[in-house]
Amino acid sequence: MKLTPLWKKASTAILLALTLGGTGAVVGGCAYGGVASTPDGTIVITRNDNILFGLLRKVYVCKAAGSALTCSEAAAP
């Protein structure tokens, strides 16, 4: 039986870890969001994706009327 050299095992493990880690970063990224409400009934929803250093930042301003939610996109701060 032939043994696999240690450098092949190590390089395979590193390549696998980088591939899985890179896939997780691309799929999940570093995304977060927040929701806040104001006393007048306005709801502010923010979403930020750090994949492109925050270039995908979105802010939505919504008004709740009963069970309906009317939203419009606002300029990101």
pTM given for the model: 0.50
Amino acid 7: pLDDT: 84
Average model confidence (pLDDT) across the chain: 77
Q: How many domains does the structure of the chain reveal?
A: 1
Residues of the chain with pLDDT > 90: what percent?
A: 0
From residue 29, alpha-carbon distances to 10, 48, 71, 72 in Å are 27, 10, 25, 25
Amino acid 25: pLDDT: 57
Distance from C-alpha of 57 to C-alpha of 21, rounded to nearest angstrom: 24
Segments forming the whole domain that contains residue 50: 6-74
Q: Say yes or no to pLDDT of 73 above 60.
A: yes
> Token pair 């009934």 is at which residue?
41
Structural domain contains residue 15: yes
pLDDT bin (cut points 50, 70, 90) of residue 58 is confident
> Token pair 């997780």 is at which residue?
24
Structural domain contains residue 1: no
